Chains A and B, each alone.
Chain A
Amino acid sequence: MNKSIKNFVAAIGIDLRLVGMVGALVALWVVFDLFTGGRFLTPRNLFNLSVQTASVAVMATGMVFVIVTRHIDLSVGALLGFIGMIMGTLQVHILPQYLGLGHWSIWIITIFAGVSLGAVVGAFQGWIIGYLMVPAFIVTLGGLLVWRGAAWWVTQGQTVAPVDTTFRLLGGGSEGTLGDTLSWTFGVLATVAALVMMIQSRRRRAKHGFTPKPLWAEYSLGGIATFIIMGFVIVMNAYPLPKGAVKRYAAARDMEIPAEGLFISHGIAIPVVILLLVGVAMTFVAKRTRFGRYVFATGGNPDAAELSGINTRMLTVKVFALMGALTAIASVIASARLGSVGNDLGVLDELRVIAAAVIGGTALSGGIGTIHGAIIGAVIMQSLQSGMAMVGVDAPLQSIVVGVVLVLAVLVDITYRRRAGL
């Protein structure tokens, strides 16, 4: 990399690995765009990409904590299917009996039940790992088989459909988006929040008398943040609803559709909003809470954490409970997107999730990993898959490429880390 770019990056205080990951992602996008004759970098495809990434990315944020504490969770895909089945049965077969079909509270009760179930199952697996000392690999490998089998049992293998209409919006169909006005509002609020946090951090550090970053670096960082957030909003708003959806939209509002058609924006998809909120919350937990600090300390040196008085067993239970709750949220997104819950929901997701976390710079040796890295890792994985599908790469070759990329990404990461002496 060019020296002046390196200095610039160091001055504004962004992790060089993050720059590398974003660079790789952008390069990937440009290549696919060239090979598809400009069909890849369109608002429509980027919108779809964002929706397809959401479920795996939500779980990847939890997998970061699991891997950072030197564990692994192979059960997330099966657990996603099991929770999906329970939530599907609850909202399709059980709740309507008591509340009436389409009752407003069905989706809320369903999600609450699903997330609670995920947290309990996760905590149980974490308890076996932390207190009974069975390796996480074994416990969650068992979990993979158990929960996949249990999912079948819930409905004897039958697909559950259709999900509640409000619940369905969380999957991000043509109606499950913020629309243009709300997307702008969301973008402006996010930008203001980001800038306020930067200013506050600068003030706090000034108060303690630390040497501040140069002002131009702060402005650049603020500019980059604003550009990314607003750019995302603009692209999502540039993708119009298809004709059928416009008709429904107009009919719902008693509007006339003019002869030249009506441009109604999708805006940001609701599952993507969920992902962004989860990402911010998990970053906050990682950086600003004792729990997050202990997760990283335990991953870096379990003995040191123990000697510092940290209850590492209970920490394991909490980490896996959190993973379970996030799996439930991912299950909401995945089942809402399909509108139904089948037996194959979440099959092989555990591998996608682990790959996303690892491509995003999470080290299996523990102690190292970031939430934003895992989310970018998930986007890279999804971009590879949809890109190759659009180019027309044969399915077997697709998985070969993804496998090679996974190993290469980790190799690059390890080499970089060794050079940097970390």
Chain B
Amino acid sequence: MDKKTPLVEMKNIHLSFGGIKAVDDVSVDLYPGEVVGLLGHNGAGKSTLIKVLSGAYQADSGEIYVDGEQATINNPRDARAYNIETIYQTLALADNLDAASNLFLGREIVNQFGLVDDDAMEAETRRIMGRLNPNFDNFSSPVAALSGGQRQSVAITRAVYFNARILIMDEPTAALGPQETEMVAELINQLKADGIGIFLISHDIHDVMDLCDRISVMKNGKLVGTENVTDVTDDEILSMIILGKKPGQAA
């Protein structure tokens, strides 16, 4: 895996908000078919870092490479053009619209007159949902009326439908029951097999140990370190998160 070009490389990213260094000289990378876990406390800067990649924030300095080529990502549209898709912790759904409208938001299917084709979008949504979450059956209600798991399905489907190559998942299982969490885990493994690279932001150390290949730990805006999951123990990861201490360092 190490010999290939990374799918994404974020190099020396800096981003401050009014004097507070939210992200301070952080570099991470991601290879095809790999899941990299981003860990850290609330406010460690992991969500901010990832929003730089998804185009929601612009870095003060630093470079992003996609497939080894330098990429310019100034807004979410740019990120989508690089096949970078994001599932936000808040899901970022328009609650007043139905599943199909949310799935295609910003990328509507239009007919030959440039008018949105709701029927075609609903048909596509039914088709893809039939594969990803066969229990999903509510295509006409606003997503506000759906359960947490169903809403999550809509957000996940939106990310994978448009041929994502780089997927960012921000706490994808935080609001889910055990059964739905299992479904997300299955999906991640399936996407991995398809060669998609995934950044997984999570609090749950078990999620991370089960699903991730590598972990990058952040604390106070800085990168503590990046390790292969097989090389470290739970305790070592915890001490990276809590103490900001790399494994092998003297206490």
Residues of A within 8 A of B (CB): 204-205, 207-210, 288-290, 293, 296-301, 303-310, 367-368, 421-422
Contact = CB atoms under 8 A, between A and B. Distances in A.
A307 B88 contact: yes
A293 B96 contact: no
B245 interface: no
Interface stretch (B37-45, B73-81, B182-190, B210-218): B73-81
B92 A297 contact: no
Interface string B111-154: 00011100110110000000000000000001011000000000
B92 A300 contact: no
B142 A305 contact: no
Contacts of A208: 119-120, 122-123
Given A289-B115, A307-B88, A301 B95 contact: yes
Contacts, number: 84
A309 B77 contact: yes
Nearest to A303: B92
B232 interface: no
B28 interface: no
Contacts of B119: 204-205, 207-208, 210
Nearest to B77: A309
Contact of A306 (B76, B107, B108): B76
A293 B101 contact: yes
B101 A297 contact: yes
B145 A303 contact: no
B94 interface: yes
A309 B123 contact: no
Contacts of B94: 296-298, 300-301, 304-305, 367
A307 B95 contact: no
Given A208-B122, A300-B97, A309-B106, A289 B116 contact: yes
Contacts of A209: 123
Given A208-B122, A367-B96, A304 B145 contact: no
B93 interface: yes
Nearest to A363: B96
A304 B120 CA distance: 22
B124 to A, nearest CB: 9
A300 B80 CA distance: 22
A290 B108 contact: yes
